[in-house]
């Protein structure tokens, strides 16, 4: 049977994993060989003339080993170079046949294998997981009808409207070209210089300055397809569609100070967290949601559906949840899978199609083009992680690293010598046809005026934030612009902020020692050389809503504590009851509980039981955890005298985390937290686990930022 006749997950087997299995190598119990299969006798020494003499060129074993090593690296992705991948599956909840003929969105009996790659945008492959940055959220669905890639981000909008500006955006945000500083950071002159001249970026900039851009984990981010796509049904009817991924783990962020510390304490924090969660069976899950807009409603919105700097607020078009993705398997090999996977928004299947969004249109060119230099040639679809489940049969031939061995003389169509094979597929046989859209216009190089509203949605976003979220945005702008050296750039940004919100502009201006100025009507960014600035005034439209609660992370907390990391800070002599009960209760709820003690080895409880220590106060830090518990006992005396333990609590408090203690454990809290109130939100002093669990669900107690303590 051909693979494409197989039902995905027939007999419970994931067909993509089965396919990958054919390429996996297990050298356990095997002899070492050369790349050409010859057994190697000595892998320690080069071939020489005498023990102390020169090495010989004829040493084919050494040359082969060294040559391969010399060529181990491939160019990293120009953007999204740092990423983490995982395998999983997608289960449809309800058929979308009314809107799309895509089979994986029609049949709820089908599970579709997926491979996901999360990424940061700015930094290089070895950079930290924790910059303030947009995160990539790319999903490859290995469907029965071929690969479908949903290559999105963790924000619903993008910085620019037209693909022509993408190289400029990326050049501006990447490390500055003379000294390659700073790595993985937007807080520098070139980025803000560009942004201050591109009002269209303001909406995504607001998201970038919010806690969305410092996610607590990759598991706690939403994902968005950003562009408007099309669903096409069996009748050939089109509906517009926007895609959303909603994490069942909730949407959670870090404190900015915490993100910066984490970047040093565990630069791989996000990658490790994802890996560990999957490894421990705490599989992260996202529901797939769609916003559907009828073809005839295209122009009913005060913004253009083709403009990628605009979202459709969920309050205007609700998100319909249609299925769930579960990530349940770590890759076997980072390079072979996560590095070599090649995503492309142009990988679509029948039932899904593009729109004329000029950003999307440009992406359709870029992604294949970039793989040609990154993966070395046109056969990257044959790399195991990129192979579709259906067999690939066409007349494309040759090129570097060809794996297939096509038989016969015929590599053209039409032909008679191969009876016309491979055949074209009719629509009813699953052949892809493009949506027939009437386009009748002049050939022009111009931006549509319907794209000229740059501030309504940033305003909506800011208005929808809670007080602490607004404070974080003000602080983020103050930090980023504070790192900018050139004052005119700072001033232009503060002026631009005045178009979004006066309070925001004033707060940031005050931090920078600048007064925001109301400019004559701001002009859009990219004006052609002979364009008239008067023709490029940005416009402001009236949105039917003044707030969109759905964009606030505060409204997206999880309902459970699954895979949250809890530190059980302790030492020898801890009371048994509270210590064991806390572990049991939290573990049963799916939390990851780790015993942290002054040193590695074991802690001995009062009754003499021994528990292995996960990490010592020397090798871990509060920023790794979501919450801390201090059980009472003689252990507390040791901790009270340990500067690391006091810092651990103080830092957790500073980052607004839930902290709990029982018995004399509260003494440690009082020592570490000057001015601790009783009672205080997010602090449990009587070992009440129910309350502690409730606090962990709430994640952070941001009001504490108003009375910061040194830590
Ligand atoms: Fe990308 N983008 N992009 N992008 N993008 C790449 O492709 C590009 C855009 C996104 O984990 C590159 O294989 C252009 C929007 C993700 O492998 C490159 C434009 C969105 C990833 C490229 C955009 C994205 C990429 C670099 C504007 C969200 C990582 C390496 C016209 C909807 C995929 C590669 C992975 C990667 C080009 C804008 C998401 C150079 C030209 C909008 C998640 O081809």
Annotated catalytic residue within 80, 239, 244, 472: 80
Contact 350, 102 (CB under 8 A): yes
CB-CB neighbours of 323 under 10 Å: 20
Average pLDDT on 655-667 reads: 98
Q: Whose CA is nearest to atom 30 of ligand 1?
A: 77
Residue 100 within a domain: yes
Indicate whether 148 and 237 sit together in one domain. Answer: yes
| CATH code, domain carrying 539 | 1.20.1370.20
Instruction: Return the best residue to mutate from 151, 309, 386 for the ligand 1 pocket (most ligand atoms within 8 A of CB).
Output: 151
Indicate whether 515 and 626 sit together in one domain. Answer: no
Q: Is the pLDDT confidence value at 325 over 50? A: yes
117 is in an annotated binding site: yes
344 is catalytic: no
Pairing between β-strand 83-92 and β-strand 320-329 as defined by DSSP bridges: antiparallel
pLDDT at 525: 78
80 is catalytic: yes
Ligand 1 atom nearest to 227, measured from its CA: 32
pLDDT at 522: 76
The residue from 523, 552, 581 where one domain ends is 552
Residue 205 within a domain: yes
Q: Which of 349, 288, 303, 308 is nearest to 116 (CA)?
A: 288
374 is in an annotated binding site: yes
pLDDT at 527: 86
Bond before 426 cis per omega within 30 degrees: no
Indicate whether 266 and 117 sit together in one domain. Answer: yes
The residue from 353, 377, 401 where one domain ends is 377
Indicate whether 257 and 342 sit together in one domain. Answer: yes
CA distance 59 to 657: 60
Indicate whether 586 and 601 sit together in one domain. Answer: yes
Q: Is the pLDDT confidence value at 2 over 50? A: no
Pairing between β-strand 229-232 and β-strand 238-247 as defined by DSSP bridges: antiparallel
pLDDT, tens digit (0-9, with 9 covering 90-100), for 543-583: 999 999 999 999 999 999 999 999 999 999 999 999 999 99
pLDDT at 357: 98
CA distance 693 to 452: 47
User: For residues 635-645, b (16+ Cβ closer than 10 Å) or e, as one string?
Assistant: bbebbbebebb
Residue 175 within a domain: yes
Q: Does the C-beta of 302 come closer than 6 Å to ligand 1?
A: no
Indicate whether 281 and 356 sit together in one domain. Answer: yes
166 is in an annotated binding site: yes
Ligand 1 atom nearest to 118, measured from its CA: 11
CA quadruple 257, 260, 266, 269: dihedral sign: positive
pLDDT, tens digit (0-9, with 9 covering 90-100), for 228-264: 999 999 999 999 999 999 999 999 999 999 999 999 9
Ligand 1 atom nearest to 371, measured from its CA: 13
Q: Which of 662, 564, 571 is nearest to 613 (CA)?
A: 571
CB-CB neighbours of 384 under 10 Å: 17
Count up the domains in the chain and report the number: 3
Residue 11 within a domain: no
Indicate whether 121 and 149 sit together in one domain. Answer: yes
Residue 262 within a domain: yes
The residue from 377, 405, 437 where one domain ends is 377
Instruction: Return the best residue to mutate from 75, 76, 77, 309 for the ligand 1 pocket (most ligand atoms within 8 A of CB).
Output: 77
Annotated catalytic residue within 153, 386, 475, 575: 153
Residue 423 within a domain: no
Indicate whether 308 and 167 sit together in one domain. Answer: yes
pLDDT band at 8 (very low <50, low <70, confident <90, very high): low
pLDDT band at 5 (very low <50, low <70, confident <90, very high): very low
Q: What is the mean pLDDT of the chain?
A: 96
pLDDT at 11: 67
Distances (CA, A) of 143 to 103, 139, 220, 337: 8, 12, 26, 18
Indicate whether 508 and 582 sit together in one domain. Answer: no
pLDDT band at 526 (very low <50, low <70, confident <90, very high): confident
pLDDT, tens digit (0-9, with 9 covering 90-100), for 154-195: 999 999 999 999 999 999 999 999 999 999 999 999 999 999
pLDDT band at 6 (very low <50, low <70, confident <90, very high): very low
Contact 125, 72 (CB under 8 A): no
CA distance 3 to 78: 34
Q: Does the C-beta of 153 come closer than 6 Å to ligand 1?
A: yes
Range name among 11-20, 82-91, 457-466 with the lowest pLDDT average? 11-20
Indicate whether 658 and 687 sit together in one domain. Answer: yes
Strand, coil or helix: 450 = helix
Alpha carbons within 13 angstroms on the beta-carbon side of residue 111 total 16
Residue 591 within a domain: yes
Alpha carbons within 13 angstroms on the beta-carbon side of residue 708 total 7
Pairing between β-strand 627-630 and β-strand 565-569 as defined by DSSP bridges: parallel
| CATH code, domain carrying 694 | 3.40.50.880
Indicate whether 671 and 535 sit together in one domain. Answer: no
Indicate whether 577 and 461 sit together in one domain. Answer: no
Please give the residue range of the domain that contains residue 514.
454-552
Residue 189 within a domain: yes
CA distance 55 to 212: 57
Q: Does the C-beta of 692 come closer than 6 Å to ligand 1?
A: no
pLDDT at 150: 99
CA distance 170 to 78: 9
| CATH code, domain carrying 319 | 2.40.180.10
């Amino acid at each position: 049977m051909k693979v494409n006749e197989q039902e995905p997950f027939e007999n419970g087997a994931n067909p993509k994993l089965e396919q990958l299995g054919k390429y996996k190598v297990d050298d356990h119990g095997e002899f070492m060989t050369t790349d050409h299969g010859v057994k190697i006798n000595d892998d320690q020494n080069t071939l020489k003339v005498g023990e102390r003499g020169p090495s010989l060129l004829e040493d084919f074993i050494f040359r082969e080993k060294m040559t391969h090593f010399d060529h181990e690296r491939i160019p990293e992705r120009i953007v999204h170079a740092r990423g983490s991948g995982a395998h999983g599956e997608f289960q449809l909840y309800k058929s979308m046949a009314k809107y799309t003929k895509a089979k994986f969105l029609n049949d709820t009996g089908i599970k579709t294998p997926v491979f996901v790659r999360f990424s940061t945008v700015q930094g290089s492959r070895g950079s930290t997981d924790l910059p303030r940055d947009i995160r990539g959220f790319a999903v490859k669905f290995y469907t029965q009808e071929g690969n479908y890639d949903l290559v999105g981000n963790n924000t619903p909008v993008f910085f620019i409207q037209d693909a022509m500006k993408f190289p400029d955006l990326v050049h501006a945000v990447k490390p500055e070209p003379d000294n390659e500083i700073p790595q993985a950071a937007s807080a520098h002159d070139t980025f803000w210089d560009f942004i201050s001249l591109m009002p269209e970026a303001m909406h995504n900039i607001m998201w970038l300055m919010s806690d969305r851009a410092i996610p607590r984990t990759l598991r706690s981010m939403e994902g968005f397809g950003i562009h408007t796509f099309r669903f096409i049904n069996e009748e050939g009817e089109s509906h517009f569609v926007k895609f959303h991924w909603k994490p069942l783990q909730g949407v959670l962020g870090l404190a900015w100070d915490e993100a910066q510390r984490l970047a040093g304490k565990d630069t791989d924090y996000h990658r490790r967290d994802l890996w560990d969660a999957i490894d421990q069976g705490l599989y992260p899950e996202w529901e797939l949601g769609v916003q559907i807009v009828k073809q005839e409603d295209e122009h009913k919105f005060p913004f253009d559906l083709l403009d990628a700097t605009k979202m459709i607020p969920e309050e205007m078009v609700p998100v319909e949840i249609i299925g769930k993705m579960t990530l349940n398997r770590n890759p076997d090999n980072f390079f072979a899978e996560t590095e070599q996977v090649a995503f492309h928004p142009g990988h679509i299947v029948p039932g899904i199609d593009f729109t004329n969004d000029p950003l999307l249109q440009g992406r359709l060119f870029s992604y294949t083009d970039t793989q040609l230099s990154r993966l070395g040639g046109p056969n990257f679809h044959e790399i195991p992680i990129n192979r579709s489940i259906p067999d690939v049969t066409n007349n494309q031939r040759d090129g570097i690293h060809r794996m297939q061995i096509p038989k016969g003389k015929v590599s053209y169509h039409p032909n008679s010598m191969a009876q016309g094979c491979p055949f074209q597929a009719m629509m009813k046989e699953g052949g892809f046809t493009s949506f027939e859209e009437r386009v009748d216009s002049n050939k022009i190089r111009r931006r549509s005026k319907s794209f000229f509203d740059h501030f309504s949605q940033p305003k909506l976003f800011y208005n929808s934030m809670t007080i602490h979220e607004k404070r974080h945005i003000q602080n983020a702008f103050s930090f980023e612009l504070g790192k900018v050296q050139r004052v005119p750039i700072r001033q232009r940004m503060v002026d631009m902020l005045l178009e979004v919100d006066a309070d925001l502009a004033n707060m940031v201006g005050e931090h920078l020692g600048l007064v925001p100025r109301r400019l004559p009507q701001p002009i859009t960014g990219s004006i052609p050389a002979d364009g008239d600035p008067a023709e490029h005034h940005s416009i402001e439209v009236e949105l039917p809503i003044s707030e969109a609660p759905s964009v606030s992370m505060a409204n997206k907390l999880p309902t459970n504590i699954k895979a949250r990391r809890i530190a059980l800070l302790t030492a020898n002599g801890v009371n048994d009851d509270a210590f064991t009960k806390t572990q049991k209760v939290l573990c049963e709820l799916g939390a990851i509980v780790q015993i942290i003690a002054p040193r590695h080895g074991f802690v001995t409880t009062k009754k003499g039981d021994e528990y292995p220590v996960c990490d010592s106060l020397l090798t871990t830090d509060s920023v790794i955890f979501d919450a801390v518990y201090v059980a009472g006992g003689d252990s507390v005396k040791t901790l009270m005298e340990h500067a690391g333990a006091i810092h651990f609590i103080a830092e957790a408090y500073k980052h607004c985390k839930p902290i709990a203690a029982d018995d004399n454990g509260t003494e440690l809290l009082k020592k570490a937290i000057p001015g601790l109130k009783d009672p205080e939100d997010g602090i449990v002093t009587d070992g009440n686990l129910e309350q502690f669990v409730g606090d962990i669900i709430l994640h952070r107690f941001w009001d504490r930022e108003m009375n910061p303590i040194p830590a």
